Amino acid sequence: MLKERHDAERVTPTFVPSPAAAPRVQHDGSSAADLILRAIDVVHHYGPVTALDHVSLEVRRGEFLTILGESGSGKTTMLRVISGLERASHVAQLSLDGVDVTNVPAARRNCTTVFQSYALFPHMSVEENVGYGLKLRGVPREECRRRAGEALDMVRLGAKGARRIGQLSGGERQRVALARAVVTKPAILLLDEPLGALDERLRYDMQAELVDIHKALGMTFIYITHSQEEALTMSDRIVLMRRGRIEQSGTPEDLFDRPGSRFAAEFMGYDNVLPCTVTSDDDASVMTVDLGGATVRAQRSPGCRARRGEAALVAVRAERLSLILRAQAGANLNVLACTAEGHLYRGKYTDRTARMPGGTVLKIRSWDQSGAQHGPDASGFDAVACRPQDCVVLPH
């Protein structure tokens, strides 16, 4: 597994940017006044490993941006470069709130990082932890207490300011870390997988709490995670990274419904990504492809340039496929002849496989607890169906 931090091996090599490596700036066309962060053509090496490979990113003021990716994709390295905890091997521009911070140390950048470990002081009270950053800035004691109390009220811990950190639950410690981060009113709050150590139920609750805090403060959040669910739940925009580069950027709906590549589709939960051949591309957005002898209508993904007769991939989520009887198929559906095979009952849903006549295997997920698809016997079904808008054609 590629580690994003190799402090013991850290070197700062001489880097000459390639003229062919044009930066891909990820933003939504906002004006310069709307942008709080510009990071242009960022490259970073850990010895022979390239952690960031010509990454360019723009972030709007007040945006909740999530950088999503698997371990080793470069997401945490990008966060550390923004915060000043890492000095990039090369960067064309790094500005925060209109100020060039390329050579500004971390302590003087107007941003704060919340780590997964929380880094709270066990010998201090909750209130003292939250007010510590204000104390370092020379804020008077009474002002520190007032602002720390306001921050604790915001995270619903106002009654626990006198407690020690060891007396708090994991979720309460997470909220103390958030209160300490926002009390200094940074321009950007950087969150490095802050929910990773929490159990499933508490993580679910904290997602909603983070969204509420973001709305209440109007602050810019840059959130790092490997969890698709967290990214989809909380973000205004998602930047998906892979191997040190930006794979795709867009709204949660863009990445969920319109992935641009096989990697993006599989990472965002598409269980069926299958080879096909383009048979018709008369419409700019809707295509017809041949999948194992069956005709499938699907939407064209942003990155697909395949033309008639060329190879491509068609992707569809398991939960968008339904086992049916061909004789009862509705109009305007993709209908694929198949034979139902094994199934796994998972409580909330059932996973099932079905095989097409040519051998192509489809994965199906059903959430209808009362339906026959959940039973062990699905021999009566002879096809699967899905809507054209639920299928996406990807580049091969």
The three-state secondary structure class of 217 is helix
The three-state secondary structure class of 100 is strand
At 102-125, the pLDDT tens digits run: 999 998 999 999 887 778 899 999
Segment among 120-124, 134-138, 342-346, 352-356 with least mean pLDDT: 342-346
Mean pLDDT (whole number) for 137-166: 91
CB atoms within 10 A of CB 73: 25
CATH topology of domain 7-257: Rossmann fold (3.40.50)
User: pLDDT class for 16, splitting at 50, 70, 90?
Assistant: very low
Mean pLDDT (whole number) for 80-96: 96
DSSP letter string over 236-276? SEEEEEETTEEEEEE-HHHHHH---SHHHHHHTT--EEEEE
DSSP letter string over 148-206? HHHHHHHTT-GGGTTSBGGGS-HHHHHHHHHHHHHTT--SEEEEESTTTTS-HHHHHHH
| pLDDT on residue 369 | 53
Distance CA(191)–CA(230), nearest Å, equals 12
Domain limits, CATH 3.40.50.300, in the chain:
7-257
Segment among 89-103, 177-191, 274-288, 313-327 with least mean pLDDT: 274-288
Mean pLDDT for the chain? 86
| pLDDT on residue 5 | 37
Percent of the chain with pLDDT strictly greater than 90? 59
| pLDDT on residue 22 | 37
At 289-321, the pLDDT tens digits run: 999 889 999 999 988 888 899 999 999 999 999
